[in-house]
Structure 1
């Protein structure tokens, strides 16, 4: 394995595994998956010392107070310029050429053939905010690579499938060797045949598994990745009886399918699957019926009443004690499952969880399990959710990215922005290959995988990614780490 260290910033290092390439996020040196030889920067052909000293670089200053003209980070200025120049037809957005805008990045060799990387995002329209956050994250990775051979070419999809198709046609016509994006499922599906016709691979940010394949690889964190990880963890904790309570929407559908697949593979029992309308308004009384049904409340309440009838009116001490005990209960008997999986988040989850507890699904006896939607500190304020499990990227690396982005742009981006960083970093790493087709399926599907801000990942032939996620728990005040993310793809279950 060879370690490819970044000489521009010590906060990020890129690692190449033996037979694989890694873009590992870490402070200083990171733990490698096998023996390694340390190399210098991405473009240098000369070896360096075993522990190279990174080049000290002054961090960009944060914007000044509103009352004076702000100092704008170069990537931010580039992104804002896009909004000023938005047009109906997507156009390539030139990267800054003024050396003063390159964060004092070291000068590197410029005579090699450029490697053109297209980035398709909604830079205008209803979703321009998230699109520009992804663009900014990709620019950070571009600077970290310190390789002027890389040419990042952003295109505006306007957040539509038609706009994405036009952007993909422009990108392939202007020499893009790989496409990063688009963001939305419909846009990815519109881009796929255009990219395939031009033999260009796509690293999309969607989580819709139906958009994968045919040269499209999904960078998005899917429900299946999260469910697979947390159910394997649950299995190792001795849980075997599961139930599902999921919304009737595409996310809920994907979650249910994944739960069925994983429980079958692990030999677990899926005792019941309950669904509910996803568009229920906040405070809906229908949620109460949903919770009662999931808890099998009516049957358990009927059983309690039958037992009360047997001892009611009897004068012997034992019957009196039994009657007194039963009279304090709402139901008799336990639910048929040991764990309840709820692929829901936000306000709907905060309303649903206490109702489940109210209708006698006791969270001290039944393990509540969620998905990445539970990676939300506000959920720790709901007592019935405290102790719930879910899988998500390792918090340390994820938080490093968020903090770094904020130090440059002055605000914290949504987590999805880190996917653009990882996608650009991976593309830049594969650009170092001597192959004529640097972004071939063979290179992208390297079985040893890659690692980035969102942990280790590797692509399969169907375009989906396997990921190494951490297992988290909702604490009383914060999200708590239960089991660290793996550092290799060695199986946790034999």
Structure 2
């Protein structure tokens, strides 16, 4: 007869063996990288006083030069600033450059705040900011650290020993279109200009260029951009006789002023400035058909816009090209930028200039970008180039 206790003993041994196997498996798992308690790490000696300190907020990638991009990411100009920042990213991607680390700092809360942080984090070149007042707030801080500023502003009064202005200059645009008009036989010029700094620049440039080109300015009217003031200025201007009239303002004012001029039987050639280049809808305004304005050629900007939309799903602001070209400029000069050395700002004055989305440009002795501009004509089918940009300076 079989022992009645035997099956129970066999079952107990099987259970015991199973438990042991599970424990062994768990231990092996722990040895293979599972959670476990380790001995305390040995205490390291504090760094010596001569050990380099990592820059605050940024990784220690010593193989790359640090470049700060100062643009408004918040506030009323956030759209423009974000477009410039996005275009800067595209430029780095297109050039496949690994020599620069470009970091964006928001000037919305204050340009001086952004610049202080950028300088504290070891940036040796500043691209931006956008507005003239912001440039003035940044220039002194950067100069104290020996850091050059390549700004996107067109405010010539913001220029300084360590500040270069990359923005589109109204004086250059006016000179180009007035000289083109003079080449077409127009001699008697008039001006319709807003009050303020832009208007003073426009009127002064119109007088200087017209006279130097063999023409003359026979009438000039200013206004404060209110509908009543524009109407009064147009009425006063229409009492004079002239061949061409420069409307030195945005498209919003132009589409009001030109129909008023035509109603007054003024048939003079209409001239505009670089401001019109940011407003493609002007071609649909019938009264502006045939108007001329000078600005950079838009052919390459169209290609940039296509890539921008593909990546970001929206159309960039026209000033986005400044961010792209500023990075191209930095990448080119970075070839001669030695490690642990200041940015070679003397290279910004290269007489041969630089190339970018907005065509050829160079900085003159006043550190203001001189550009090669085309003359555009508005028409029902869009704009066309009636005088291509010069190939050299």
Q: 1:167 to 1:377 in 2, by over 3 A?
A: closer
Q: Which residue of 1 aligns with 2:209?
A: 262
Unaligned runs of 5+ in 1: 1-90, 98-109, 297-334, 490-494
- Report the Cα distance in structure 1 between the residues aligned to 2:218 and 2:345, rounded to whole angstroms: 40
Q: Which residue of 2 aligns with 1:231?
A: 178
Q: Aligned residues, how many? A: 337
Report the CA distance between 1:341 and its aligned residue.
Answer: 0.4
- Report the Cα distance in structure 1 between the residues aligned to 2:352 and 2:96, rounded to whole angstroms: 25
Q: 1:287 to 1:164 in 2, by over 3 A?
A: closer
Q: Which residue of 1 aligns with 2:9?
A: none
Report the CA distance between 1:226 and its aligned residue.
Answer: 0.9
Higher helix share: 2
- Report the Cα distance in structure 2 between the residues aligned to 1:92 and 1:463, rounded to whole angstroms: 32
Report the CA distance between 1:92 and its aligned residue.
Answer: 8.0
Q: 1:221 to 1:444 in 2, by over 3 A?
A: same
Q: 1:92 to 1:373 in 2, by over 3 A?
A: farther
Residue 339 (1) aligns with residue 339 (2): no
Matches within 5 A, 1:199-214: 199-214=146-161
- Report the Cα distance in structure 2 between the residues aligned to 1:141 and 1:276, rounded to whole angstroms: 41
Report the CA distance between 1:403 and its aligned residue.
Answer: 1.4
Matches within 5 A, 1:128-139: 128-139=78-89
Q: Which residue of 2 aligns with 1:430?
A: 333
Q: 1:257 to 1:92 in 2, by over 3 A?
A: farther
Whether the aligned pair in 2 keeps the contact of 1:93 and 1:154 (CA below 8 Å) is no
Q: Which residue of 1 aligns with 2:300?
A: 397
Whether the aligned pair in 2 keeps the contact of 1:183 and 1:204 (CA below 8 Å) is yes
Report the CA distance between 1:197 and its aligned residue.
Answer: 1.5
Mean Cα displacement is larger for which, 439-448 or 464-473? 439-448
- Report the Cα distance in structure 2 between the residues aligned to 1:464 and 1:238, rounded to whole angstroms: 31
- State which of 386, 402, 409 in structure 1 corresponds to 2:312: 409
Whether the aligned pair in 2 keeps the contact of 1:431 and 1:438 (CA below 8 Å) is no
TM-score (norm 2): 0.80
Q: Which residue of 1 aligns with 2:276?
A: 374
Q: Which residue of 2 aligns with 1:322?
A: none
Q: 1:94 to 1:401 in 2, by over 3 A?
A: farther
Unaligned runs of 5+ in 2: 1-54
Matches within 5 A, 1:190-205: 190-205=137-152
Matches within 5 A, 1:422-461: 422-433=325-336, 439-461=343-365
Q: Which residue of 2 aligns with 1:471?
A: 375
Q: Secondary structure at the match of 1:474?
A: strand
TM-score (norm 1): 0.64
| Deviations 1:92-120 (CA, angstroms, capped at 9, x unpaired) | 8769x9xxxxxxxxxxxx8x732111111
* Pairwise CA RMSD: 2.3
Q: Which residue of 1 aligns with 2:16?
A: none
Report the CA distance between 1:167 and its aligned residue.
Answer: 1.8
Residue 353 (1) aligns with residue 296 (2): no
Report the CA distance between 1:427 and its aligned residue.
Answer: 0.5
